[in-house]
Amino acid sequence: MKPLVSVCICTCNSSEYIVQTLNTVLNQTYTNMEILICDNWSKDDTIRLIKMFNDPRVKIYSLDKNIGAYNWLNYLIDRARWTYIAIQDHDDLRKLNKIEKQVCFLEENKKYVGCWTVACMWFEWDWKCFYYDFGRETYWCIHPSLMFRNNWQHYIQKREYMADCYFMKKILCGWKKLIYNLPDPLTIHRIKINLNNYSYSRFKFNKINLSTVFYCHNSLYACLMIWFELCRKWFYPYMSLKSRYKFERLPFILKWYKIVDYA
């Protein structure tokens, strides 16, 4: 019997994206899965649009309050019954063979706790993109492409900033390179026009955030990240959207990522 996959999605006022997103999940070539959706107190048509799919694999948990950026994932992990957990953002897209390729890899490579895929980072504002790739073996990845073995580990909600990185490096991998990066670009991660799905919106200059940055990265890179986050806080209110987009892409250009037109 094929192993079962629990796809975990959090929605919050997602009516603009959720239909397209769910289509890329429900139409996967791998069908042995459940889709767990935690709605974080949406005020738009998100729930109605989800119910229109009328698919028995879809299970909706509608909350009457917003429980936070990572508590929703813990909420779904507690209800996931299956072998693997696949993370899915409510506004991202997937190639239709993504889940099948990840399951096949993890079934054949038991030493890894999870795998991710190269991601196409799509900037919605000007239809530019680049491919996000850190090599093959690692202990963290772009979170929305992750699939991992379900051992009911939980995210640390108090580390709201970079909690996904902390979860992968510390809790899943224990600082060993146990996540494998599939070389195919099977994930399309949407960077919204207003940039509000970028991590800087959760950055606060406090002890817990600083400790998370230094815990997850070496000292030099951690200092550069903090400088970058502070620049966002200080200068974004005075910058045009075009200037913000240029600034967001700067770290990747410096790493020799090629920014190209999205096709």
Residue 216 has a pLDDT of: 86
Residue 145 has a pLDDT of: 95
Residue 190 clears pLDDT 70, i.e. is over it = yes
Position of tokens 């993370």? Answer: 87
Query: What is the distance between the alpha carbons of residues 88 and 73, in angstroms, rounded to a whole number?
Result: 10
What is the pTM for the complete model shown? 0.92
Residue 200 clears pLDDT 70, i.e. is over it = no
Residue 209 has a pLDDT of: 86
Query: What is the distance between the alpha carbons of residues 62 and 37, in angstroms, rounded to a whole number?
Result: 8
What average pLDDT does range 160-183 have in this prediction? 91
Residue range 5-261 in CATH 1.10.1740.10: no
Q: What is the pLDDT of residues 99-134, one digit of tens each?
A: 999 999 999 999 999 999 999 999 998 899 998 887
Q: What is the pLDDT of residues 204-262, one digit of tens each?
A: 888 888 888 898 888 998 898 889 888 888 898 899 988 988 888 888 888 888 889 98
How buried is residue 218: exposed, middle or buried, by Cβ count under 10 Å (0-12/13-18/19+)? exposed
Average pLDDT, the chain: 90
Q: Are 134 and 261 in contact (CB under 8 A)?
A: no
From residue 60, alpha-carbon distances to 4, 5, 9 in Å are: 18, 16, 10
What average pLDDT does range 64-86 have in this prediction? 87
Residue 186 clears pLDDT 90, i.e. is over it = yes
Residue 88 has a pLDDT of: 94
Residue 1 has a pLDDT of: 65
Could you tell me the two tokens for 121?
């980072």
Delimit the domains of the chain by residue range: 5-261
What average pLDDT does range 187-202 have in this prediction? 78
What average pLDDT does range 179-193 have in this prediction? 92
65 CB contacts (<8 Å, ≥6 apart)? 41
Residue 142 has a pLDDT of: 87
Q: Which residue has the higher pLDDT, 53 or 199?
A: 53
Name the pLDDT band for 197 (thresholds 50, 70, 90): low
Could you tell me the two tokens for 21?
């997103």
Residue 202 clears pLDDT 70, i.e. is over it = no
Residue 263 clears pLDDT 70, i.e. is over it = no
Residue 195 has a pLDDT of: 76
Residue 238 has a pLDDT of: 92
Residue 194 has a pLDDT of: 77
Residue 201 has a pLDDT of: 65
